[in-house]
Amino acid sequence: MTEKSSMEQHLDAAMYGTPKIKPDEQRHYLGTFRERVSLAMTIAEVVDHQNLAAFITEITDHPDYQVILNGHIAQSDLGPYLKVASQHNVKFTIRQDTIYGLADSDLGLVVAAETAINQSPIALAKKYPDEAAPTAQPTKKPGWLGHLLNH
C-alpha cells in the first residue's frame, strides 16, 4: 500500500472527519481511552445508589479527574452523582451520543484523568469490593418435605 499524500489526507479529513484513534475503546469508555480511566461503573451499578459511597471515595481521592456520565441513564438516577460531583467541584460531562450503550452491562459512569494513568483495576466491583453493593442471594424456602422433617 502506498502512503497517501498530504493533499489526499487533507481531502479525506475534510470529507469524512478526522480519523479517531481506537474508536471502539473510546466508544466503550464514554469518549476517553482506557489508560486514562480511574473508575468505571456499569449502568446497573450507577442506577444502584448504594455504590455512591465508592464514587465519593474516588472523586475525593482524585479531585482533578473528570466524571463522564452516560446520558441514556434516567435523570433521577444520575442526579445524586451530579450533585456529589458539583459539591466536590469535579468537572463532569454527560455524553448522549447514540454510540454509547443502553444495556445494564454498558458503562454508565467513568472517572478519568486528562492524561494516561494506567490504573488497574478500574471496575467498581474489583476496585471497591467492600463498598460495592452486595448482590442479593435468593433465599431458598424449604419445601413441604423440609417442613415435615423439621417438625
Distance CA 94, CA 72 (A): 9
- What is residue 115's predicted lDDT score, i.e. its pLDDT? 96
3 backbone dihedrals φ, ψ, rounded to 5°:
-70, 135
- What is residue 104's predicted lDDT score, i.e. its pLDDT? 94
Identity at 91, one-letter amino acid code: K
Domains in the chain (CATH in brackets) are: 22-126 (3.30.1330.30)
- What is residue 143's predicted lDDT score, i.e. its pLDDT? 65
- What is residue 107's predicted lDDT score, i.e. its pLDDT? 96
- Closest among 61, 64, 44, 49 to 112, alpha carbons compared: 64
- What is residue 12's predicted lDDT score, i.e. its pLDDT? 78
Conformation bin of residue 4: beta by default, left when phi > 0, alpha when psi is -120 to 50? beta
Residues whose CB is less than 8 angstroms from the CB of residue 87 and which lie 6 or more positions away in sequence, other chains included: none
Residue pLDDT tens, the chain, 151 long: 567 788 888 787 788 777 778 888 999 999 999 999 999 999 999 999 999 999 999 999 999 999 999 999 999 999 999 999 999 999 999 999 999 989 999 999 999 999 999 999 999 999 999 865 455 455 555 666 665 666 5
Strands (E), the chain: 37-42, 66-70, 92-95, 107-112
- What is residue 61's predicted lDDT score, i.e. its pLDDT? 96
- Closest among 29, 34, 38 to 59, alpha carbons compared: 38
- What is residue 132's predicted lDDT score, i.e. its pLDDT? 54
Indicate the pTM of the whole model: 0.76
- What is residue 50's predicted lDDT score, i.e. its pLDDT? 94
Distance CA 95, CA 99 (A): 10
Sign, CA dihedral 36-30-51-111, equals: positive
